Amino acid sequence: MAKIVLELDAPDPAVEAAVEALVQDELRKRLKGRIQTMICQQHARTPTVTVRGRVGSRFDYHVTGCCHDFVRRVKCRLEE
Ligand SMILES: [Zn+2]
């Protein structure tokens, strides 16, 4: 199963917790829907996607995985 990590930047920890609770379900569902079935055909590994963002602006997706090819495929899928 693909792993989704959220790193949200908020003004203070209380706000961050509240915002994270709000967005994480939605974001996780959306991302997992796209990549949960993705598995590297060479290494049989799943990707990790780290979402970094500031509240109220765009999120950045950072994908890590077992090899360059697979990471590239996951990124393509996320950007569709
Ligand atoms: Zn691989």
**Would you list the domain boundaries of the chain?**
3-78
Ligand 1 center to residue 16 CA distance, Å? 34
Ligand 1 center to residue 63 CA distance, Å? 13
Q: Are 64 and 51 in contact (CB under 8 A)?
A: no
Q: What is the largest CA-CA distance in the chain?
A: 43
Query: What pLDDT, on the 0 to 100 scale, is given for residue 53?
Result: 76
User: Taking the chain (80 residues) in consecutive chunks of 10 residues, what is each chunk's mean pLDDT?
Assistant: 78 73 78 88 95 74 95 90
What's the predicted TM-score (pTM) here? Answer: 0.72
Query: What pLDDT, on the 0 to 100 scale, is given for residue 40?
Result: 97
Query: What pLDDT, on the 0 to 100 scale, is given for residue 5?
Result: 84
Instruction: Return the amino acid letter for 43.
Output: H
CA–CA separation, 51 vs 44, rounded Å? Answer: 23
Ligand 1 center to residue 26 CA distance, Å? 28
Query: What pLDDT, on the 0 to 100 scale, is given for residue 73?
Result: 96
Query: What pLDDT, on the 0 to 100 scale, is given for residue 61?
Result: 84
Ligand 1 center to residue 69 CA distance, Å? 7
Ligand 1 center to residue 6 CA distance, Å? 23
